[in-house]
Amino acid sequence: MIRKSRLTALLLGVGALCFALLVFFGQPAAQEKAAKEKAAPEFTYVGVAKCKGGHSTKKSGAQYKIWSSKKHSHAFETLKTAESDSIAKAKGIEGPAAEAPECLACHVTAYGEPAEAREASLTQEEGVSCESCHGPGSVYRKMKPMKQLYAGEIEPASVGLTVIDEKVCAGCHNEKSPTYKPIKYEEALAQIAHPVPPRDK
């Protein structure tokens, strides 16, 4: 009887120890998982290649064609010129303008955003593309959210879409730019306009 009691106590002790070890070693893994989930961005930048498919036809408004003919699409290439290097040097920036964070911040889409917020399909070469103004497109680029946005069923911010206003443009078009010239917002907007035609009901 005494042996049985000791065996039961021993088994209970081993069970309690195993449980304690599981809890102790399981906590960091659970905490690490929670931290990763918390750190993961809700919306990511996907790049112009993933945007142009639905914005290339005449029926859709040919926004991609309009954008690619404007200066924003060549913003990164502009930094590779001798003139840009000269401007950067005059501002005390060491090295090529195309490598300077001060320049890349406004000449490259999502520059400075954490790596996990930028998908591999996003490139520096696209310059100031769709998502520079409209926000990270990983969610709103899909058909269902796009239809919901069109129908007014969801708020743009809920899918990462930025509503364009003067503040968005002023994020780069301001006195920090070494080539800044005051712009009239409405006129400037008209120059880069790429409207979306109304959809058939």
Annotate 143-168 with DSSP letters as a single string. HHHHHHHHHT-S-GGGGTPPPP-HHH
Count of structural domains within the chain: 2
pLDDT at 10 > cutoff 70: no
Identify whether residues 60 and 127 lie together within a single domain.
yes
For residue 150, give every residue at least 6 positions away whose Cβ sits within 8 Å of its Cβ, in sequence order, or none: 199
- For 169-181, how does the pLDDT look when each residue is reduced to its tens digit (9 = 90+)? 999 999 999 999 9
Q: What is the DSSP letter of 42?
A: S
Residue 200 lies in a domain: no
Locus of tokens 């709103």:
140
Q: What is the DSSP letter of 118?
A: B
Residue 167 lies in a domain: yes
Q: What is the DSSP letter of 174?
A: S
pLDDT at 6 > cutoff 70: no
The residue that leads in pLDDT, 20 or 117, is 117
43 C-beta neighbours (distance < 10 Å), count: 17
Residue 178 lies in a domain: yes
pLDDT of residue 30: 56
- For 60-76, how does the pLDDT look when each residue is reduced to its tens digit (9 = 90+)? 889 999 999 999 999 99
Identify whether residues 25 and 64 lie together within a single domain.
no
pLDDT grade, residue 58 (50/70/90)? confident
pLDDT of residue 201: 46
pLDDT of residue 96: 97
Domain containing 131: what range? 48-191
Locus of tokens 């070494």:
178
Identify whether residues 159 and 95 lie together within a single domain.
yes
Identify whether residues 125 and 66 lie together within a single domain.
yes
